[in-house]
Amino acid sequence: MSERVPCQNSGCSATILPTTALKTGGTCMPCHQKKLALEKEAYILQNRKDVDRYKSIIDPVEILKIMHTPRKYNPLERDLPYHKSAQELYHQLTKGDRERLETYAISLIDQGDFDQAETILLSLVCFTDAQIERGLNALYHKGKYYPGILYKKAWPAIRDELINLVERDPANRNHLLLALAWIGDEVVVRLFAEWKENPPVWASNLYVPPENYAHEAGWELDQDSQKRLLFHHESFTFEVYGEKITGSESVKAAVVGLQPDDQCCPWCHGKLMVLIDFNLQDPLVRFLKLFGQRLRIAACMHCNCYGTVFTNVELDGSYSWSKFNTIPEFLPETEPDEELTCSTMRLSDRPMGTYEGAYWTLEAPTSQIGGHPAWIQDAEYPTCPCCLETMVFIGQMDMEQAADNEGIFYTFLCRACLIAAVNYQQT
Ligand SMILES: [Zn+2]
Ligand SMILES: [Zn+2]
Ligand SMILES: [Zn+2]
């Protein structure tokens, strides 16, 4: 056995075999590897170039194509971001631009690049009011029925094809039902009502009755088998106002988000947070048709992550914990160790499209009032514990935008009972 020698790195007490020393120049393997990593890092820092892929390009369609093209990671290149987000660029597209982008998405579909095509078509559908008839046709002919929101404005011929397929394509039935729910026109509403009345044989293979797929597209059948919307078409977006605002400082906005309150959560004893504070007198929130002074919807930022929390609300801004709350089964027994720091949010007066937040993977900030919710998991509209009606979505807080955290808090209201609900989803 050969004698071990000490590692040459001062401060390291390891001993090594002479063969290792020969390989590394006298240091132990961990020290050697650390040195190599540092050298590599220094090399990268010294030689890394900024790459502006958008340089001298002014056509928004070309800019978006570049943005959507996936790139191989190269440590020696640092991509300079474009000064506008994809969402902002989509807003400024003309009808002609949108058609060019759709044509590009179709060429991607033909090449089998569905991921990129999907992002483009989803962006067109959510951020603009584009019809994407040609894009849908291309997707449909490749047997791609997902995400259902793409089919939102599908014309009757495609709808009828989907209805036919539901009966005879069990492998795609789930996606087909979602697409139909998103179409949600009179024919689909009637079809869902028929299925509710007389469940088809294949319904027993689904996790939920077929008519329940409507929730994913924000509606349900009411008692008279009519379409009842579970969200508001009008929508406004929140913007970050600033770090924690205390009670004495007032934020001037129709709606303020994320203000700590003095009421405590009976489960964890932490302070409740007013997630959304509506000034009902402001014209911006008139679409909610709540005639009063103020509506405050509070949540426990800790316990709410484990289940739905209900509060009784009054239209003067007061609220109280509901007797209908049941402690979530999985609620940890320990108290939350740290308080979440989040920014106060303020509603901007810029109206946003109903579906701008509807597909959260498009990575647009989704704190909003009204509009379609940005479900991260399956749609989860709470049932009012008092009258048993499905509660209507009225706004959400995107924790990535507000607190550099993850997940979204969703708020709902039953107007008849004046009960609010908050639930939470994350990836
Ligand atoms: Zn060493
Ligand atoms: Zn709590
Ligand atoms: Zn109710």
Distance CA 192, CA 101 (A): 34
For ligand 1, the distance from its centroid to the CA atom of residue 41, given in whole angstroms, is 19
For ligand 2, the distance from its centroid to the CA atom of residue 395, given in whole angstroms, is 21
Give the residue ranges of the chain where pLDDT is below 50.
Answer: none
For ligand 2, the distance from its centroid to the CA atom of residue 216, given in whole angstroms, is 28
For ligand 2, the distance from its centroid to the CA atom of residue 404, given in whole angstroms, is 20
Which ligand sits nearest to residue 413's alpha carbon?
3
For ligand 3, the distance from its centroid to the CA atom of residue 422, given in whole angstroms, is 14
For ligand 1, the distance from its centroid to the CA atom of residue 44, given in whole angstroms, is 24
Look at residue 336 in the predicted model and tell me its pLDDT: 62
For ligand 3, the distance from its centroid to the CA atom of residue 124, given in whole angstroms, is 36
Per-domain boundaries in the chain: 5-47, 95-227, 232-425
For ligand 1, the distance from its centroid to the CA atom of residue 348, given in whole angstroms, is 57
Look at residue 250 in the predicted model and tell me its pLDDT: 65
Look at residue 400 in the predicted model and tell me its pLDDT: 86
For ligand 3, the distance from its centroid to the CA atom of residue 415, given in whole angstroms, is 7
Look at residue 257 in the predicted model and tell me its pLDDT: 84
Burial of 353 (0-12, 13-18, 19+ CB in 10 A): buried
For ligand 3, the distance from its centroid to the CA atom of residue 371, given in whole angstroms, is 21
The torsion angle over the Cα atoms of residues 191, 197, 201 and 204, rounded to 10 degrees, is: 110
